[in-house]
Amino acid sequence: MRLSELLRREDAESLICQTLASGWSEQFNQEIRISPSGTGQAWRYQSLLSVIVTPDIEPAPRQFVRELFRFSPRPWRVVPQWFVGTALTTSAGLRFTSHPFFRATPGLQEAQQVVVLPGNQRIRTLHFGLGTTRVFLKTGFSDASIKTEVAIRGAGQDGPFIPIERHDPNWQWFEESIFDGFALSRCPTWFPKARLAKQALDDHDQWLRRSRRELPTSEHCETRLSTIRSAISDMHSRFPEDSATLDELVRLGTILASEASAAPTCAVGVGHGDLQAGNILVDRKGQRAWLSDWEASAEQYEHYDRMVFALHMRAPSGLARRIQRYVDGHRTPAPLSELPQDREWRHRAVSLSLLENLRWQAEQCASGVYSRVPPDLTDFLGELRLYCASGS
């Protein structure tokens, strides 16, 4: 996640420094102080690559950083992005296009083997010397995301994911092996992306069926609305200046619940909760896919994750139009092609999926130390307005 996006909602630089100081001190068994200036080991942030590294980064982490950017999902950007990614990750490129971010005292041993990736509620630190990724919970955020992740991927669990090897008993971090491959959103252009996406979605659905059950749709919608109202109530006390916006979210959620409840029953199960291309990992040969980042996992509408993936629900811009085209039958994304085709079913399924998404957005906002309502939520609100106003 880009630092510029984090800064729109939180004091990101301070949170990153606090989190790493606490996490590294515990990990390396000595007090490590992190400050934005002064003396000590220098760490730099490259905004286009969204990474924090030392100036003397070694070849293995350098290759990892290069591959984060080199491959583009947009065909017209493939060639220029390849050359830009290569240039940016040379020693000179990183030195001249990055800026100082913090100083560590004392410095980390083998720091040149480490890459720091700031994230939504967590910070990933990849140590290529150890071959491990330690994921730290950001200071002040709810530990629910770590607990959920460990419950799904911890010891003794099996499924379409990379297992967690160790975790903190106080739920401040977990550790896994560095994955040797790519995210589906950033894999080489010659990989069979459609086949890999289908495999990931099918594996997810098979895993969800272990816990699948049916219940009255109105009952499930009321549970979702209750969660939304609780989260919004918490945000009211923190962001009183945004009361009108928050009230509108509850109003639109009620409309979605009413539309979805036209179906007497729905099937639910424990699913991923955030199934987007960036959370599908592909091995280096482009043969197998796994799902990462299960912190949003919960009991949910059985087709929700397919809707998230196929309709790009995590990218609010243009969402209402994409949904309308799907509901009207003008465009059916491949992951949704085997679902019922009639308009009424699609309308109810989309309404229930949007309600699930609103619940996810609201819970995310309520669990973070944000200084303002996150822009992602207000952007999603704008698309909900358009969708509900259309009457679909």
Let me know whether 149 and 124 are in one domain. Answer: yes
pLDDT of residue 70: 84
Tell me the β-bridge partners of 267: 214
96 touches 137 (CB < 8 A): no
Which domain-ending residue is among 124, 148, 178? 178
What confidence score (pLDDT) does residue 361 get?
93
pLDDT value of residue 72: 76
Position 153 in a domain: yes
Residue 354: pLDDT over 80: yes
- What rounded mean pLDDT belongs to the chain? 94
Q: 167 and 210: one domain?
A: no
Domain presence at residue 62:
yes
Residue 185 — pLDDT band, cuts 50, 70, 90?
A: very high
pLDDT tens, residue by residue, 289-301: 999 999 999 999 9
Total domains, the chain: 2
**CA separation for the pair 338, 310 (Å, rounded):** 12
256 with 369, same domain: the answer is yes
- Closest among 214, 187, 210, 207 to 71, alpha carbons compared: 187
Residue 185 lies in a domain: no
CB distance 196 to 327 below 8 Å: no
Query: Looking at the structure, do residues 104 and 218 belong to the same domain, yes or no?
Result: no
Do 11 and 48 fall into the same domain? Answer: yes
How big is the CA angle at 367 (ends 53 and 27), to the nearest 5 degrees?
40
Residue 184 within a domain: no
Q: Quick one: 352 and 269 in the same domain?
A: yes
Phi-psi region of 283 (alpha: psi -120 to 50; beta: other; left: phi over 0): beta
Measure the CA–CA gap between 279 and 270, rounded to whole angstroms. 17
pLDDT at position 218 over 80: yes
* Distance between CA atoms of residues 257 and 262, nearest Å: 9
Residue 183 lies in a domain: no
Look up residue 167 and give its two tokens.
């975790």
- CA dist 242 and 385 (Å) reads 17
94/155 same-domain check: yes
Count the neighbouring beta carbons within 10 Å of the beta carbon of residue 350. 24
% of the chain beyond a pLDDT of 70? 99
Report the pLDDT value the prediction gives residue 76, as an integer from 0 to 100.
74
| 8 Å CB contact between 320 and 231 | no
pLDDT at 201 over 90: yes
Residues 168 and 54 in one domain: yes
Among 109-113, 249-253, 341-345, 369-373, the range scoring the smallest mean pLDDT is 369-373
Q: Do 238 and 354 share a domain, yes or no?
A: yes
Question: In the predicted model, is pLDDT for residue 265 greater than 90?
Answer: yes
- Report whether 279 contacts 293 (CB < 8 A): yes
CATH assignment at residue 284: 3.90.1200
DSSP 3-state of 367:
coil
Considering the entire predicted model, what is its pTM? 0.95
pLDDT higher than 70, residue 392:
no
CA separation (Å) from 116 to 20, 27, 109, 234? 9, 15, 15, 31
- Same domain assignment for residues 373 and 258: yes
pLDDT in tens, 87-129: 989 989 998 999 999 999 999 999 999 999 999 999 999 999 9
Q: List C-alpha distances in Å: 20 to 29, 118, 141, 183, 383.
A: 13, 10, 14, 25, 36
Residue 157 has a pLDDT of: 93
The answer to whether residue 336 is domain-embedded is yes
> Residue 278: which domain range?
190-390
- Please report whether residue 209 resides in a domain: yes
Q: Clarify whether residues 66 and 209 are in a common domain.
A: no
The pLDDT of residue 387: 94
pLDDT tens, 17-68?
A: 999 999 999 999 999 999 998 899 999 999 989 999 999 999 999 999 999 8
Residues 154, 237 within the same domain: no
Instruction: Spell out the alpha helix ranges (H) of the chain.
Output: 3-7, 12-27, 59-70, 78-88, 91-97, 144-153, 193-208, 217-238, 243-260, 304-311, 319-327, 343-366, 375-390
pLDDT over 90 at 86, yes or no: no
73 pLDDT higher than 80: no
